[in-house]
Amino acid sequence: MNQDLSILHLVLHASVVVQAVMLLLIIISVASWAAIFRKLFALGTVKSLNDTFEREFWSGSSLNDLFAAATQNARVAGPMERIFASGMREFQKLRERRITDPATLMDAARRAMRASFQREMDVVETHLSFLASVGSVSPYVGLFGTVWGIMHAFTGLAALTQVTLATVAPGIAEALVATAIGLFAAIPAVVAYNRFARDIDRIAIRLETFIEEFSNILQRNVGAQSASGH
């Protein structure tokens, strides 16, 4: 009756298949935590860069100065600054070609900013699908290990003439450890996925709002220049 039912003992004495499942789940859990911290820092950096550029944008600096700075800092710029730069680049290209039609200018700038927006969102959403997969698949992998462990335990008990709780408990307990590890891998991934998905939605809304506001500014500039030209 004095059997060692500690977690370490159960893991070390589990069947090979259950141990393989446990090892797989531990690797998945470590990779999941690495993705969580990486995404946490990445989203924090994106928010900080967007805040900094938005303050500069509304501080009264000229669009040409902001565009020059954005071009110079292209490698370290945030999503909002890169979207701004893509819109200004397309706008200025058409102006250099002597295109003065307001509708053509605005349509080109908007399309450039929407394309840049899609690229930025693809980068921001990196590793999110991995967390979703971990959250949905890990419990089933753990359950497979548990089912296999219980089958293995009952197969071993078939050779015994007298079965007691003391003989059944270790096999069942080591099998249930697989489910516990599966939940340990899945729960943080699900929580992180929901948190990051909400944060990414906020970033997307903020960027789309900026595109609309910047488009309005460009449209006013085009309208003012057209009026002065007449």
pLDDT confidence bin for 226, thresholds 50/70/90: low
pLDDT confidence bin for 161, thresholds 50/70/90: low
Task: Please count the CA atoms within 13 angstroms of the CA of 108 that sit on its side-chain side.
Answer: 15
Residue at 113: amino acid letter? M
pLDDT confidence bin for 224, thresholds 50/70/90: low
pLDDT confidence bin for 103, thresholds 50/70/90: confident
Q: What are the pLDDT digits (tens) for 164-181?
A: 656 666 677 777 888 888
Q: How far apart are the first and last CA of the chain?
A: 99
Q: Which of 9-18, 45-54, 129-138, 182-191 has the lowest mean pLDDT?
A: 9-18
Cα pseudo-dihedral 116, 117, 123, 126, rounded to 10: -150
Q: Quick one: which of 53, 40, 121 has its CA closest to 85?
A: 53
| CB-based contact 211:80 (threshold 8 Å) | no
pLDDT confidence bin for 1, thresholds 50/70/90: very low
Q: What are the pLDDT digits (tens) for 22-80?
A: 899 999 999 999 999 999 999 999 999 999 999 999 998 888 899 999 988 888 899 99
- Give the global pTM: 0.81
Q: What is the mean pLDDT of residues 116-143?
A: 94
* Structure-model confidence comparison of residues 182 and 7, the more confident one: 182
Give the count of beta carbons closer than 10 Å to the beta carbon of residue 178: 30
Give the count of beta carbons closer than 10 Å to the beta carbon of residue 130: 16
pLDDT at 135 over 70: yes
